[in-house]
A = this chain, B = another copy of it.
Amino acid sequence: MLGIDPGLTRCGIGVVDVASDRSATLVHVGVVRSDPTAAIETRLATIASGIRAVIDAHAPAVVAVERVFAQHNRQTVMGTAQASGIALLVAGERGLPAATHTPTEVKAAITGYGAADKRQVQAMVARILRLDEPPKPADAADALALALCHAWRRGPTVGTAAVATPAQRAWAEAERLARR
């Protein structure tokens, strides 16, 4: 599962492997950066090529991209929307299905609380992936959260009884809370 937190200057990319029992493992986390002083067409090409490299290296089955809204800072949001378009295009051109999730959906899926702050999401991502500390760089944690959110929302339901590890318990608890 490949998650992309689209951005023009920093585009977070995370890959997680989600087993049928919903246990998740970190495969890759990183950020594709583009030079803010470069021309927009060059920046978008840099982002496309960075995403393609991760797809080639890890062969994900699905690409999940954060859904962008127009309500925030106009100039930034247009760059973010363009970067999200690039992410979706690259998925389409590789024949991969793509999905989009809102930040609220991601937060609710990961922490059980749609208005959770960044640190809470990072902490839960670390927990779910059984990491000793939040994944670095911090920006890329959102991409991992997105990948986990997507796996979560589409994956098979696992009964609480079958959940064994602390990460799986945390996940089941978060899911329970998110469904309230």
Interface residues of A (CB under 8 A from B): 39-45, 48, 63, 68-71, 74, 77-78, 81-86, 88-89, 91-93, 96-98, 100
Contacts and interface: CB of A to CB of B under 8 A. Distances in A.
A160 to B, nearest CB: 34
A88 B74 CA distance: 18
Nearest to A46: B92
Contact of A98 (B41, B89, B91, B98): B41
Contacts of A41: 63, 88-89, 91-92, 96-98
Q: Which 8 A-B pairs have the closest CB atoms?
A: A82-B85, A41-B92, A81-B81, A45-B92, A85-B85, A41-B98, A70-B70, A44-B89
A70 B78 CA distance: 7
Given A39-B97, A45-B93, 6 more contacts: A40-B100, A48-B93, A81-B82, A81-B85, A84-B85, A89-B89
Nearest to A40: B88
Nearest to A89: B44
Contacts of A93: 45, 48
Given A74-B70, A78-B69, A85 B39 contact: no
A94 to B, nearest CB: 9
A42 to B, nearest CB: 5
